Amino acid sequence: MNRGMLARRMARDVACACMGLTLALAAAGAFAQAFPARSVRVVVPYPPGGIGDTVTRTLTQSMGEALGQPFVIDNKPGASQMIGAELVARAPADGHTLFLGSVTSLAINVNSQKKLNYDPQKDFAPVGMAFYSPLYLVVNPAIAATSVRELIQLARAQPGRLSFASIGQGGSIHLAGELFRSMAGLDMVHVPYKGSAPALTDLIGGQVSLMFDAGVSALPQVRAGKLRALAVTSRTRSASAPELPTVAEAGALPGYEAIIWFALAAPAGTPREAILRLSQELSRATRMPGLRERFAPQGVEFAGGTPEELAEVIRSEIPKWGKVLKDANVAPE
């Protein structure tokens, strides 16, 4: 082949490549402009009325207004959030079905369930973190500890005497207590309850010593003087109770963090353009004026962020809580 023919072929190949790139970009742009083409179904694995449900409705309503299509909440509670997760994992990957994932469904269930019919990392495309709820370390006022350090000293001086309540074996609230017990090297008794209300009742009555609980249920009892709050479990102080230190700073437990986080995810294979559009609108919705003030009394903090940041959270949380479950000898259910 002479140089002239080679040059002409190279020029033709370059032109074809450029045309292909132009068509691909045009198709992507057309998809982005057309998405969403219809209403977006948001599967929420909780009953109506709870924090996960009400906050998600507020955020997705704003997203729908911005994108020109309604976001419809579909409540699918049950089975440690697995019913909703499995449903979305098998839904069409076109961006019109989303899942409200959480630390339980996207991280803890991997190690706490014997049979999990979905893979949080392979079956979902992360959209972005939406919001989270830190937990509050609360004690019965009769406990002779007014700080996390004093609580740790008290527990070490009386091995096996202090007990901590939870709302069920292997759940996020139980594991927050187990992480604290493990990191501080304590011997404490776990007492599971069927819900926050009976656990708090016994904590107020002195049947158990302490508990890690969500702000929506714990903070009213603290403000009423029935419980004493020692710290918050998030990495930074909470806007709901900024006077409280974090467990990490107050108890000399560097790296301690145990929050209940909520995020949006789509079925794996959802077009990148749809994911980015949804992520952008989710982050915008978490910055709506008045949103933080509205939900602060319920202990809700808003996040936002990229799909990559959410993917990293999931990757790091799975082994973290797997180790806590193993150290606590909690067998998969």
- Residue 13 predicted with pLDDT over 60: no
Confidence of residue 236 (pLDDT cuts 50, 70, 90): very high
**CATH topology of 38-133+259-327 equal to that of 134-250?**
yes
Residue type, 330: V
What are 189's two structure tokens? 């008794």
Mean local confidence (pLDDT), 287-315: 94
DSSP 240-300: TSTTSPBHHHHTT-TT---EEEEEEEEETT--HHHHHHHHHHHHHHTT-TTHHHHHGGGT-
**Residue-range domain boundaries for the chain:** 38-133+259-327, 134-250
Query: Using CA atoms, how far apart are residues 205 and 196, in angstroms rounded to an integer?
Result: 14
pTM over 0.85: yes
Class of CATH domain 134-250 = alpha beta
Tell me which H or E stretch contains 75: strand 71-75
Question: What pLDDT, on the 0 to 100 scale, is given for residue 19?
Answer: 53
Q: How far is CA 125 from the centre of its chain?
A: 15
Mean local confidence (pLDDT), 111-124: 97
- Residue 220 predicted with pLDDT over 50: yes
Question: What pLDDT, on the 0 to 100 scale, is given for residue 33?
Answer: 64
Question: What pLDDT, on the 0 to 100 scale, is given for residue 9?
Answer: 53
Contact 129, 300 (CB under 8 A): no
Question: What pLDDT, on the 0 to 100 scale, is given for residue 8?
Answer: 54
Name the residue among 201, 209, 199 with its Cα closest to residue 151: 209
Question: What pLDDT, on the 0 to 100 scale, is given for residue 27?
Answer: 44
Class of CATH domain 38-133+259-327 = alpha beta
* Lowest mean pLDDT, pick from 32-41, 73-82, 128-137, 190-199: 32-41
- Residue 252 predicted with pLDDT over 60: yes
